[in-house]
Amino acid sequence: MTGSGNFQILGWANTLVRPYISARLITPNVTNITDNFYDKGYTYSLNEFTEHKFRAVKREVEGEDMSSTQDQVMAALSTVIEPELHKDIVSLNMVRDLRVEGDTAKFTIVLTTPACPLKSVFEERCNAAVVGRVAGIKQLQIGWDAQVPTDRRIHGRLNVPMHSIIAVGSGKGGVGKSTVATNIAAALAQAGARVGLIDADILNPNIPTMTGLGSGRPRVIDNKMQPIEAYGIKVISTGFLTEPDKPMILRGPMLHSAIRQFFTDVEWGNLDYMIVDLPPGTGDAPLSLAQSFPLTGAVIVTQPQDVAVSDALRSIAMFETLNVPILGVVENMAGDFFGEGGGEKLAKERGVPFLGRIPLEAEVRKGGDYGRPIVVHMPETAAGQAFLKLAQTVAARISVVMLQTADVIPLNIIG
């Protein structure tokens, strides 16, 4: 190439690289590129100086053509479908900080829950979509983060920084609501989520015992009650406020305000998941709760036998009437004693998800009595594993429901 072509090349190169430099608007860059081009002794004719070759030179001079490879990687990632949400990970805004270094594409996947068991699935799908499909990329380096989506209705209604509120209920007493609530909370906290647990069984609180906080007394700072922490869960319960041998005598309106105050007068800080353990039945407590706060969803606990199932059915109907999404049904205490399958059948019949089956195991009961949730102390047991899986399933369902209800208007207050 002769020096006489210099001006032409510069003019031509200028249009070619304009998009590249437009962000910086530094004309000398072009000069630098072309100067380097000459320094390296290339002798292409103007005709040969195609976009392809120019890019090749630019790559050599300035490193890879990051921006366009980056775009190609992003485009390839937009074909990766989130296994639970059934949308692509780019439109879900899960791919962040994408950059290309040499033959490696580096990015972070922001999951919708820290309790996501599907990292290997993401990894596989991303690799299949990018490696060998985008020229020059031989490997991926994926970092992980999690950001629980926000149930926007909560922010509209409550001045508390909670991403989601999940009620655990059932029509029948003693089926394992508090056990399920405690173990889900502990499993989510172990996974790295910020978790609160409200014991909404105001009259017969069991959560202090189950979390090993029996003698806890919350401090009050600036007129706000401080929750007590166990296993990474922030807990509040009337059990912390009364003597164990004294009955709580409260009428409906006081119950209502007690539950409200647990939300509004406690210093929760930022929470990804607020789990609410309800008393049995379809009475005041679930009604108060659902009327006062937009619930992200309800987990219905049932034993496998028919009697429990028919009570759970009433509970589902109640939440549906209150416009609370049903996250699904948990079948607890499955085994020889109470049988198996009733919860799953109920879920199928009602067209709601079946979240999982927890076996009847003595260790679960001991864990409850001694304040040592089985997911923390004996995660290797069948029940421990079942609870861990349950927590992941519930977290995934919450993400799905939040995505579905993101723009839903606030609940109607009944009565």
Ligand X SMILES: Nc1ncnc2c1ncn2[C@@H]1O[C@H](COP(=O)(O)OP(=O)(O)OP(=O)(O)O)[C@@H](O)[C@H]1O
Partner touching 171 among Mg ion, ligand X, none, CB below 5 to 8 Å by kind? none
Per-residue contact flags (x/-) with ligand X for residues 317 to 356, judged by CB under 6 A? ---------------xx-----------------------
CA–CA separation, 287 and 291 (whole Å): 6
Residue choice 171, 216, 280, 325 for contact with ligand X (CB under 6 A)? 280
* Tokens describing residue 78: 């937009």
CA nearest to 166, candidates 316, 300, 354: 300
Q: Which residues bind Mg ion (CB under 5 A)?
A: 177-178, 206
Give min distance, CB of 317 to Mg ion, in A: 21
Per CB under 6 A, the segment of 244-252, 266-274, 318-326, 358-366 that binds ligand X is 358-366
Q: Decide the pairing of beta strands 228-230 and 224-225.
A: unpaired
Nearer to Mg ion, 177 or 194 (CB): 177
CA–CA separation, 46 and 388 (whole Å): 65
Which residue type does 321 have? T
φ/ψ of residue 246, rounded to 5: -100, 130
Q: How far is CA 115 from CA 49, 119, 168, 192, 312, in A?
A: 53, 10, 18, 8, 27
Nearer to ligand X, 227 or 280 (CB): 280
CA–CA separation, 255 and 367 (whole Å): 29
Per CB under 6 A, the segment of 238-246, 304-312, 360-368, 392-400 that binds ligand X is 360-368
CA nearest to 96, candidates 122, 69, 74, 80: 74
Per CB under 6 A, the segment of 58-66, 149-157, 364-372, 407-415 that binds ligand X is 364-372
Give min distance, CB of 183 to ligand X, in A: 9
- The full 3-state SS of 260-289, as one line of letters, equals HHHHHCECCCCECEEEEECCCCCCHHHHHH
Q: How far is CA 161 from CA 55, 216, 225, 282, 329, in A?
A: 49, 24, 16, 28, 27
Nearer to Mg ion, 276 or 287 (CB): 276
Residue that the structure tokens 């589902």 belong to: 316
Partner touching 358 among ligand X, Mg ion, none, CB below 5 to 8 Å by kind? ligand X
Under rule CB under 6 A, residue 358 binds ligand X? yes
Give min distance, CB of 173 to Mg ion, in A: 8
Give min distance, CB of 204 to ligand X, in A: 6
Residues 169-188 that bind ligand X (CB under 6 A): 173-179
Give min distance, CB of 284 to ligand X, in A: 14
Return all residues near 158 (Cβ < 8 A) that are at least 6 apart.
Answer: 263, 264, 293, 294
Nearer to ligand X, 109 or 309 (CB): 309
Under rule CB under 6 A, residue 368 binds ligand X? yes
Nearer to ligand X, 88 or 363 (CB): 363
* Tokens describing residue 195: 């978790």
Residue choice 197, 378, 383, 390 for contact with ligand X (CB under 6 A)? 383
Binding site for ligand X (CB under 6 A): 173-179, 201, 206, 279-280, 332-333, 358, 360-361, 364-365, 368, 383
